[in-house]
Structure 1
């Protein structure tokens, strides 16, 4: 039993928290902005735990859909499902249990949030399929990873104002940037397998377009600050995020695989910088 649980833990990437963090930061942005300070503890706990559960369920579904593809990619060939250490149906069972627990948590929130949670679940389940036909699946990932933002506003304000959708769009641009860095690691394998990624679609303009997406994401977050009449503390956080993004562009300039992966992992600090700006703004004003 313990051995099986260890395999399930690897299936849902408990040993690799970066995905949870990249999903959690925009959710926290939305929660604290919507609440204009600290959200209610119960709502905060529901969203944090739900973020972890849905990311874990998404990993299980991703490995289920990609089980035949992953065996041909050096970075993924030893994943527990691809390596045959667990059965495909077990991945589905794990995803179903995690999804069910997450949905039970959402039932403690209002009707609008529940409806948005159903959309979020569809996004999480279908994302792995988009790399088969969509030229920039990273944009779809950005919607899936940022959908906690409108859900946060719905849970706290019982509506989703325009500023929430601007934040979601900013997250889409950010996700295209960081997940293109991730896709640059596997570009040769993805080309050989006929998969679609932004790294392939962008071609020789990949580094320039990653930089553009970072800039657009931060500019849209600047629009959020303007709409909310935020002051210098918030924009100081955005300035720090801009500096971090510039560092990433420097790292990936030669398209070295390890450097691209390093930049991808470092994006948690960009999300944290934006959150610190929000926190500082709400603390001082």
Structure 2
């Protein structure tokens, strides 16, 4: 029996975020389907979560409407770099993924893609990312290249620390620095505060996400904040999200945003409160729903920043 065929453990309903009837299986040519799934193109929420800090920072540094061409570059970069990060993660975690209910059908542990093929695909994605990065100024190129150190080390953190979500925060919110430098050519306090706010945001949403795997993680010895915080997770996430809101508000005020930014950020705060208040930690499907809802939080924050400049 292969890892793809292993049934859910007795007493548990099978749970996976991989849809067998998604657009990739319906429309993509068969030879490329495993690679598109390896890059998680059928599950774009990770791309959104990587992209929003870039857009927030770009908008924060721009007096008026953000440059659409720069936004498009960040969009392409987020797709390929999220895909590269997932590829690195799946190469390093291929044995673990085969033992976890939610991940056992991923392309590498299920045998659809070999490690050598995944490495070649990784090189391709990094080259596309480099083509995007060189469109920016020199400082931004160096800053973007520095993020690779985080991309390649994050997947190992679940073996080392109970707080791998903190390292994901460092990685996924690097765009808060890159977006600002792409506009200004350097770094300033608003970007640093925005980066810190993004890190605690990630601590919140990825702890929710990690609760999907807590039983499997405990069984195979993988660490996470879901296991470290346990039944106190909801209280901690309230704290993380409070710091997120406060940090975003501070970054906007430091960048000169005023009334309309503050007013519209109230909607973002309500969204965070709804997430935690209605979250069911022992329901994997609800964990996934709440995690994905952070896309709407990202749009609300972006709208507040743009409105703060334009209005």
TM-score with structure 1 setting the length: 0.95
1:187, 1:200 within 8 Å by CA — same for their partners in 2? Answer: yes
1:251, 1:260 within 8 Å by CA — same for their partners in 2? Answer: no
Q: Which residue in the other structure is 2:274 paired with?
A: 247
Which structure: greater helix fraction?
A: 1
Superposition misfits of 4+ residues, deviation over 6 angstroms: none
Distance verdict in 2 for CA 1:254–1:111, change over 3 Å: closer
Q: Which residue in the other structure is 1:60 paired with?
A: 87
Note the 1:1-285 alignment, pairs <5 A: 2-253=29-280, 255-284=282-311
**C-alpha RMSD of the superposition:** 1.5
Secondary structure class of the residue paired with 1:72: coil
User: In structure 1, how many angstroms separate the alpha carbons of the residues matched to 2:222 and 2:112?
Assistant: 25
Structure 1 residues without counterparts, runs of 5 or longer: none
User: In structure 2, how many angstroms separate the alpha carbons of the residues matched to 1:149 and 1:4?
Assistant: 36
Secondary structure class of the residue paired with 1:68: helix
Deviation string 1:86-145 (CA, Å, 9 cap, x unpaired) is 101111111111111111221222221111111112211221111110221111111111
User: In structure 2, how many angstroms separate the alpha carbons of the residues matched to 1:214 and 1:273?
Assistant: 15
Aligned-pair CA distance for 1:254: 5.1
1:207, 1:253 within 8 Å by CA — same for their partners in 2? Answer: no
Secondary structure class of the residue paired with 1:204: helix
Secondary structure class of the residue paired with 2:222: coil
Deviation string 1:131-168 (CA, Å, 9 cap, x unpaired) is 11022111111111111111111111111001101000
Distance verdict in 2 for CA 1:51–1:138, change over 3 Å: same
Aligned-pair CA distance for 1:205: 1.1
User: In structure 2, how many angstroms separate the alpha carbons of the residues matched to 1:50 and 1:40?
Assistant: 16
Deviation string 1:46-69 (CA, Å, 9 cap, x unpaired) is 222111110011111111111100
Deviation string 1:148-204 (CA, Å, 9 cap, x unpaired) is 111111111111001101000000000000000000110111111111111111122
Secondary structure class of the residue paired with 2:228: helix
Give the length in aligned residue pairs: 284
TM-score with structure 2 setting the length: 0.88
User: In structure 1, how many angstroms separate the alpha carbons of the residues matched to 2:182 and 2:207?
Assistant: 31
User: In structure 2, how many angstroms separate the alpha carbons of the residues matched to 1:34 and 1:260?
Assistant: 34
1:237, 1:275 within 8 Å by CA — same for their partners in 2? Answer: no
Structure 2 residues without counterparts, runs of 5 or longer: 1-27
